Amino acid sequence: MPENKFIVRIKRQQRPDEAVRWEEYELRYRPHLNIITCLRDIAEHPFTRDGRESTPVSYEANCLEEVCGACAMLINGQPRQACSALVDGLEKPIRLEPLTKFPLIRDLQVDRSQMFESLKRTKCWIPIDGTYDLGEGPRMAPAAQEIGYPLSRCITCGNCLEICPKVNAHTQFVGAAILSQVRLFNMHPTGAMHAAERLEALMGPGGIEDCDNAQNCVKVCPKNIPLTESIAAVNGQVIRHAIKSWLFGLD
Amino acid sequence: MRHPRIIVVGGGLAGLMATIRVAESGVPVELFSIVPVKRSHSVCAQGGINAAKNLKGEGDSTWQHFDDTIYGGDFLANQPLVKGMCEVAPAIIDLLDRMGVMFNRTPEGLLDFRRFGGTLFHRTAFAGATTGQQLLYALDEQVRFFEAEDKVKKYEGWTFLSAVIDDGGICRGICGMDLKTMEIRTFPCDAAIFCTGGNGAIFGRSTNSVVCTGSAQSALFQQGVYYANGEFIQVHPTAIPGEDKCRLMSESARGEGGRVWVPKQAGDKRRGKDIPEGERLYFLEEWYPKYGNLVPRDVATRAIHKVVFEMKMGLPGEPAVYLDVTHIPREVLDRKLEGILEIYEKFVGVDPHVEPMKVFPAMHYTMGGLWVDNANQATNVPGIYAAGECEYQYHGANRLGANSLVSCIYGGMLAGPAAVRYARNVEQGCENTPSSAFDRERVRQQDINDALLNQHTGTENPITIWREMGDVMTENVTVIRYNAALKKTLEKLDELSDRYKKINLQDRTQWSNQTLNFVRELGNMLVLAKAITLGALARNETRGAHYKPEFPSRDDANWLKTTKASYKCGNITLEYEPVDTSLIPLRERKYTAAK
């Protein structure tokens, strides 16, 4: 193979009910190339390495700067964002596969709407009385902001669910991203007023008890969110809430 | 009383704010978005959001904000509404704060503010260097609440194809395509609010997200909505050039003290950090002593072009200059700029805490857009509203940094209630529209799909056409504009439009066919590219981001007017309307001194 070429192997599946096939593409190397550009190169010339005409690869992508969360996939077996995965740092041939913990749509594209549903079920928002002018928000110590801000950078990419052994067909575990969001909303001065509702949503099946403390999540988070700290914090809150409810019958 | 039916297309800041306002008034909303709304392009906004809260004891005021905005926009914006936006901005910040946005704080627990381009005040509230993301998430969460209450129904993974317009010229619904099943369907509504963002993809590589194609605006333009001031395109001075996109390095880097420079000795091969202070040319500080590195974006971009192309003093081997934050304490960088420095390190592989960053201008923002009237965000087609970057009215000839977020939210705040008012008073609800109007539009759109899917003799590749369009638009219709080059651009666009007719789709499946959708967007991009170029060709003056060396001055006598492009049977015509300058008298715009 010429020196300025490299190979990308892609797991293709035209529809969820159709057969899986692997395809190999030979691409031209350029410095700073990322996986997104590889996929665009294929779309411009959708011919496999052995010269067979194929179709452009389906995948999700939007911001291309690792802040929207869209382009998560398995790259050499690791869940990560395709935009920030530079060809330079990857072992060749490069292997691309869709995330496995979410329903497949096509090729590298999956349906992650379950995460947004979980955010809904756990009431991950700050209740406000209305958008009319009610004056300033609550004051917040800079130190509190410095805990909250990193949590609020979660891009809902799903990497932490992908890597988690407890997210599988037999559980309904919401996953680390959602637990961390609950921590974020529970620590906000207004959000704290409604913490009990969020904790109760985490007490049933699929909630905090499903976490096995494998601690894989924190290693694949592209935003370095302290997910294990969040899980520990929320676990503490759930236990305290359960004890209080048991002792007093109410919060 | 019947419930009016409202549709919002686009789930960025403007679309979500409009959705919230409509839902809050008790009217159900159907919200359409290509991507899950939480992944909208608003996430890319970095530096902050402007509001003259005057929390730094500087004597800032909403009037100062208004004046900076009008002056920064080179007097092309209609003034009364900009004044309205600046007056509401402090309340918008308060609202976002109440929604839980993790804004940076002062030791007293108040909101912190930083400086931004085109102003001398600390007026920009920020959440690290990912402010747009934080704001979008806050609105996304509020919409999720309304969704849980069944007041909002989301159609994520749907793209907008066209409006359903009845024989009376009134919008009665929209026609969309499910990007998974490729089903084309019409949805009746009394009013539709479009919040479909900018059009960076027309320029190939920009700082915009993949979905920012301008396709929806172009489709509406082709259906009779005016497109205003299309020629005003903002090129951001500091981005990391890339093959798939140019990644923004926020103005906030300069707001926090970052400095732009090149070696005084052209071709100096030493590493940036090894070049001593005395051998660096801080050209923005030298040329613009009052504003320094924080001149408005059009000014900074032209200065960088001058240094690199006219003075030949760019960095050796590449068109770039340094953006340097290495002198700022690490603790400050981590607290205030972490988000963008992380992007630089990840995509370039160099640590910007230690080495100056290499940056170059890139297409960034669409000042022009769908024409809307002043107070209601209503277009000229009854029932069609627009807010956010896809409309034209807040930024004149150049947008000030950190004004986009506030204009999106303000536009959404106005558009929502205005659409509800219209829908409540509309003479006949959409349920009384003859079904033929809907069938006609659905069939027209299905025919376009079928023609593309059934064309087997095509030879042209859509990505190739797109890349060629982007190259010619970036070369001739961004920073510097010459009439001869603009004419050549129009010829090139005609050539590409001809080749577009011979596209080979390569993918003929009826399931998540992203190529089909892209090809449809590409067709719309080509039309809008032409409207932008025609506007630029006609405007023989220099104003804000529109720079013509052949006509180097602002020409208020002839060009103090809004461009309105209209489309009929494949032809684009330009007309003009006066600008409302009733509040701030015209004056020369120059940043060499305080204004």
* CATH at residue B338: 3.90.700.10
**Distance of CA B541 to CAs A22, B223, B397, B536, B553, Å?**
56, 30, 12, 9, 6
Q: What is the pLDDT of residue A249?
A: 72
Contacts of B36 in chain A (CB under 8 A): 112-113, 116, 156
Provide the pLDDT for residue B592: 86
Cβ–Cβ contact A119 with B under 8 A: yes
* pLDDT-based confidence at residue A87 (cuts at 50, 70, 90): very high
Q: Distance (Å) from the C-alpha of residue B68 to the closest C-alpha of chain A?
A: 25
Q: Which of B339, B361, B383 is the last residue of a domain?
A: B361
pLDDT at B431: 93
- The secondary structure of B326-372 as a DSSP string is TTS-HHHHHHHTHHHHHHHHHHH-S-TTTSPEEEEEEEEEE--EE--
Per the CB < 8 A criterion, the answer to whether B176 and B158 are in contact is yes
Residue B550 lies in a domain: yes
Q: Is A116 on the interface with B (CB under 8 A)?
A: yes
φ, ψ (nearest 5 deg) of residue A31: -60, 150
B149 shares contact with chain A (CB less than 8 Å): no
For B212, nearest residue in chain A (alpha carbons): A62
B34: Cα separation from own chain's centroid:
17
Same domain, B354 and B449: no
Residue B472 lies in a domain: yes
- How far apart CA B422 and CA B418 sit, in angstroms, is 6
Taking the complete model, does pTM exceed 0.95, yes or no?
yes
Q: How many domains does chain B have?
A: 2
pLDDT-derived band at A250 (thresholds 50, 70, 90) equals low
Residues of B in contact with A30 (CB under 8 A): 243
With CB atoms and an 8 Å threshold, state whether A86 touches B43: no
Q: Spell out which residues of chain B touch residue A145, defining contact as CB-CB under 8 Å.
A: 102-105
Output the DSSP codes for B289-319. TTTGGGS-HHHHHHHHHIIIIIS--SPTTSS
Q: Is B229 left (phi over 0), alpha (psi -120 to 50) or beta?
A: left
Say if the Cβ atoms of B138 and A141 lie within 8 Å. Answer: no
Q: Where in chain A is the domain with CATH 3.10.20.30?
A: 5-110
* Domain-embedded: residue B557: yes
> Listing from the earlier edge strand, what are the strands of the sheet with A21-28?
A21-28, A5-12, A94-97, A72-75, A78-81
Residues of chain B neighbouring A27 (CB-CB closer than 8 A): none
Q: Is B233 inside a domain boundary?
A: no
Q: Give a yes or no: residue B36 inside a domain.
A: no
What tokens does B39 get? 């992944």
Residues B447 and B556 in one domain: yes
Q: Is residue B318 part of a domain?
A: yes
Q: Cβ B94–A134 below 8 Å, yes or no?
A: yes
- Judged by CB atoms closer than 8 Å, whether chains meet at B210 and A61 is answered as yes
Query: What's the whole-number mean pLDDT along residues A197-220?
Result: 95
Which residue in chain A is spatially nearest to B41 when comparing CA positions? A63
Quote the CA–CA distance of A94 and A88 in Å, as a whole number: 11
Same domain, B462 and B547: yes
Q: Given this model, what pLDDT does residue B1 score? A: 66
pLDDT confidence of A19, banded at 50, 70, 90? Answer: very high
Fold held by A5-110: Ubiquitin-like (UB roll) (3.10.20)
Return the sign of the alpha-carbon dihedral for residues B73, B78, B79, B81: negative
Domain assignment present for residue B67? The answer is: no
Percent of chain A with pLDDT over 70: 98
pLDDT for A246: 87
Residues B354 and B444 in one domain: no
Task: Return the amino acid letter for B199.
Answer: N
Numbered ranges of CATH 1.10.1060.10 in chain A: 113-248
Residue-wise pLDDT tens for chain B (595 aa)?
678 999 999 999 999 999 999 999 999 999 999 999 999 999 999 999 999 999 999 999 999 999 999 999 999 999 999 999 999 999 999 999 999 999 999 999 999 999 999 999 999 999 999 999 999 999 999 999 999 999 999 999 999 999 999 999 999 999 999 999 999 999 999 999 999 999 999 999 999 999 999 999 999 999 999 999 999 999 999 999 998 999 999 999 999 999 999 999 999 999 999 999 999 999 999 999 999 999 999 999 999 999 999 999 999 988 999 999 999 999 999 999 998 999 999 999 999 999 999 999 999 999 999 999 978 999 999 999 999 999 999 999 999 999 999 999 999 999 999 999 999 999 889 999 999 999 999 999 999 999 999 988 899 999 999 999 999 999 999 999 999 999 999 999 999 999 999 999 999 999 999 999 999 999 999 999 999 999 999 999 999 999 999 999 999 999 999 999 999 999 999 999 999 999 999 999 999 887 6
> Quick one: B440 and B340 in the same domain?
no
User: Is residue A139 less than 8 Å (CB to CB) from chain B?
Assistant: yes
Beta carbons of B243 and A33 less than 8 Å apart: yes
Question: Looking at residue B456, what is its pLDDT?
Answer: 86
CA distance B206 to B383: 32
Chain A residues within an 8 Å CB radius of B148: 120, 123
> From CA B162, how far away is CA B196, in angstroms rounded?
13
Query: B484, exposed or middle or buried, with CB in 10 Å at 0-12, 13-18, 19+?
Result: exposed
- Of the options 1.10.1060.10, 1.10.12.10, 1.20.120.1200, 3.40.50.450, the CATH number for the domain spanning A113-248: 1.10.1060.10
In the structure, what pLDDT confidence band is assigned to residue A248 with cuts at 50, 70 and 90? confident
- Would you state the pLDDT for residue B317? 86
Domain termination site, one of B361, B385, B400:
B361
B 21-80 → A contacts, CB under 8 A: 21, 24, 35-36, 38-41, 43-44
Alpha carbon distance B97, A128 (integer Å): 11
B352 and B445 fall within a common domain: no
10 Å Cβ neighbour count for A239? Answer: 12
Mean pLDDT across the stretch A230-240?
97
Domain, as residue range, for B306:
251-361
User: Is A1 an interface residue toward B (CB < 8 Å)?
Assistant: no
Decide: B542 and B202 in contact? Cβ < 8 Å: no
User: Nearest residue on chain A to B513, judged by CA atoms?
Assistant: A58
Q: Is B297 assigned a catalytic role? A: yes
pLDDT of residue B374: 78
